[in-house]
């Protein structure tokens, strides 16, 4: 029996990203750089002061940045209505990022009445310009039938576009469609290919599922050591199921060196997050450990912190 690849729920958020790229008016680059410096130092009020005349003069990036400040409540009182007004000015100039942000506001009902159909319309505009996040959200809404008729084949088309643009969430969801044969011919090899791409970008569910694929030999050659390696990457990011699975594999010496202290670490971390399987195995393991081993394991538990994912080069 095939072990299913675990799915991820779709989510959507305003992109509060200020980047010194793609400026509409190159002469404003210096001022915009000053705004970015103020923003990065947490001086949002100064950033807003610098950005305002640029935005009033039609600078798209400045308009988006101010909209993001209002959406996040940084340097100003949070106000989604004002955020939408600034995004709208940039969207009217054809900005795909602004179009995506307006779609996000309609999706969440922030500053507007929640309207999935309107969100789809805005995501389509941005997606048609090649904006990966919009392509991802449009595909996800097609899968869920939110604001549009359900359509797996159409969703796959947009996931493929976003995945080709490097969107890790789209790469993972595309893998799910290939694994299940939804909207596309079933192919374990294609599923594995896209899972690998997402996992290498630090996508935690892709990393966990790649561990499943290597352990099962599904779409890839079976390799328990490689499976453990990917479970570890997901566990290090704090994914509970990966922590539980990794702890159990280390306690068994499956694809890893048997190590009671490290096994206890991962099982205890998962147990603290409510994983009952991890609790059972941790308690059983503890009965075979010395006092010194338990003390060292507890020290590692106290010192443990999740890692920030780094894309694999």
Residue 63 has pLDDT above 70, yes or no: yes
Q: Which of 237, 253, 273 is the last residue in one of the domains?
A: 237
DSSP state of 73: T
Mean pLDDT to the nearest integer, 96-107: 98
Confidence (pLDDT) at 32: 86
Residue 21 has pLDDT above 70, yes or no: no
Same domain, 160 and 233: yes
The CATH number of residue 158's host domain is: 1.25.40.10
Q: How many domains does the chain have?
A: 3
pTM of the prediction? 0.87
Mean pLDDT to the nearest integer, 7-25: 38
* pLDDT tens digits, one per residue of 258-277: 999 999 999 999 999 999 99
Same domain, 292 and 248: yes
Same domain, 217 and 291: no
- What's the pLDDT band for 20 if we cut at 50, 70, 90? very low
Please compute, for residue 46, the number of CA atoms within 13 A of its CA located in the half-sphere on the CB side.
Answer: 12
Same domain, 177 and 190: yes
Q: Which of 186, 205, 237 is the last residue in one of the domains?
A: 237
% pLDDT > 90, the chain: 87
249 in a domain, yes or no?
yes
Helices and strands of the chain, counted as H and E runs: 16, 0
More confident residue, 154 or 20: 154
Confidence (pLDDT) at 309: 72
* pLDDT tens digits, one per residue of 164-208: 999 999 999 999 999 999 999 999 999 999 999 999 999 999 999
Q: Give the count of beta carbons closer than 10 Å to the beta carbon of residue 113.
A: 7
Confidence (pLDDT) at 7: 41
Q: Which tokens in the block code for residue 267?
A: 């099982």
Contact 207, 230 (CB under 8 A): yes
Non-local CB neighbours of 93 within 8 Å, separated by 6+ positions: 24, 58, 60
Same domain, 233 and 275: no
DSSP state of 27: G
138 in a domain, yes or no?
no
Same domain, 270 and 203: no
Angle at 167 between CA 165 and CA 169, to 5 degrees: 150
Residue 80 has pLDDT above 50, yes or no: yes
Same domain, 164 and 229: yes
Same domain, 231 and 276: no
Confidence (pLDDT) at 31: 86
% pLDDT > 70, the chain: 90
121 in a domain, yes or no?
no
Q: Which of 199, 218, 237 is the last residue in one of the domains?
A: 237
Same domain, 157 and 225: yes
113 in a domain, yes or no?
no
More confident residue, 22 or 279: 279
* pLDDT tens digits, one per residue of 108-125: 999 999 999 999 999 999
Same domain, 224 and 244: no
The CATH number of residue 32's host domain is: 1.25.40
- What's the pLDDT band for 310 if we cut at 50, 70, 90? low
Confidence (pLDDT) at 216: 97
Confidence (pLDDT) at 311: 64
* pLDDT tens digits, one per residue of 226-244: 999 999 999 999 999 999 9
Same domain, 155 and 233: yes
Same domain, 244 and 226: no
Range of the domain at 232: 151-237
């Amino acid at each position: 029996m095939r072990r299913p690849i675990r799915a991820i729920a779709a989510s959507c958020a305003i992109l509060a990203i200020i980047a010194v790229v793609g400026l509409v008016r190159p002469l404003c680059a210096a001022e915009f750089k000053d705004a970015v410096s103020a923003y990065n130092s947490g001086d949002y009020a100064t950033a807003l002061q610098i950005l305002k005349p640029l935005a009033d003069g039609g600078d798209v990036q400045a308009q988006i940045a101010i909209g993001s400040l209002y959406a996040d409540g940084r340097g100003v009182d949070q106000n989604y209505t004002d955020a939408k007004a600034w995004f709208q000015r940039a969207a009217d100039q054809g900005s795909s990022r602004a179009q995506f942000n307006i779609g996000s506001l309609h999706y969440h009902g922030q500053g507007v009445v929640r309207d999935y159909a309107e969100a789809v319309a805005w995501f389509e505009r941005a997606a048609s310009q090649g904006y990966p996040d919009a392509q991802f959200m449009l595909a996800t809404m097609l899968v869920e039938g939110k604001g549009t008729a359900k359509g797996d084949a159409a969703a796959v088309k947009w996931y493929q576009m976003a995945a080709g643009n490097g969107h890790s969430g789209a790469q993972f969801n595309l893998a799910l469609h290939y694994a299940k044969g939804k909207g596309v011919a079933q192919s374990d090899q294609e599923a594995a290919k896209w899972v690998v791409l997402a996992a290498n970008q630090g996508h935690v569910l892709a990393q966990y599922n790649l561990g499943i694929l290597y352990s099962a030999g599904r779409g890839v050659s079976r390799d328990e050591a490689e499976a453990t390696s990917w479970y570890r990457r997901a566990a290090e990011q704090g994914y509970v199921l990966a922590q539980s699975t990794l702890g159990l594999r280390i306690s068994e010496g499956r694809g890893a060196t048997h190590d009671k202290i490290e096994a206890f670490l991962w099982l205890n971390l998962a147990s603290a997050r409510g994983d009952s399987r991890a609790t059972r195995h941790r308690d059983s393991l503890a009965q075979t450990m010395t006092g010194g081993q338990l003390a060292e394991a507890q020290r590692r538990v106290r010192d443990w912190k999740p890692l920030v994912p780094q894309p694999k080069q």
